Amino acid sequence: MPFVRLAGLSELEPDQGLRVELGDEEAVALIRTGDGGVHAVIDVCSHEDYPLSEGWVEDTTIECALHGSRFDLLTGEPDSPPALRPVRIFPVRVEGEDVLVDLPDDWAKLAQDL
């Protein structure tokens, strides 16, 4: 899985999600937390088809804006129903202004078109 650039660091507002679409079907939510960390998570809730990037960030969690399950950005695990399954998370590396995310090969190819 290669690290690919998905955004510039200055594009990320603290405690907000940024949706990065990869092709027509996949999307990653980039989240810059208040402590300066940057996290990447698949941009769809594990409960229903709703983007997590629309949610609310608190510490290192994001709360789904549709039904309120909160996901740990470090593990992907939900801490409350209705979501029961974790969401996929991806390793992030910040190099200067570039936010690089370790994506599956097929997703990385889609990211080359950004």
- Residue 45 in the binding site for ligand FES (CB under 6 A): yes
Q: How far is the CB of 44 from ligand FES (least distance, A)?
A: 9
Q: How far is the CB of 3 from ligand FES (least distance, A)?
A: 28
Handedness of CA 79, 74, 65, 109 (dihedral sign): negative
Q: How far apart are CA 88 and CA 109, in angstroms?
A: 18
**Residue 83 or 100: which CB sits closer to ligand FES?**
83
Interaction mask 46-75, ligand FES, x per CB under 6 A: -xx-x-------------x-xx-x------
Q: What does DSSP say about strands 61-63 and 56-58: parallel, antiparallel, or unpaired?
A: antiparallel
Q: How far apart are CA 113 and CA 22, in angstroms?
A: 8
Q: DSSP code of 78?
A: B
**Residue 20 or 44: which CB sits closer to ligand FES?**
44
- Residue 30 in the binding site for ligand FES (CB under 6 A): no
| Six-digit token string for 34 | 């208040």
Enumerate binding residues for ligand FES (CB under 6 A): 45, 47-48, 50, 64, 66-67, 69, 82-83
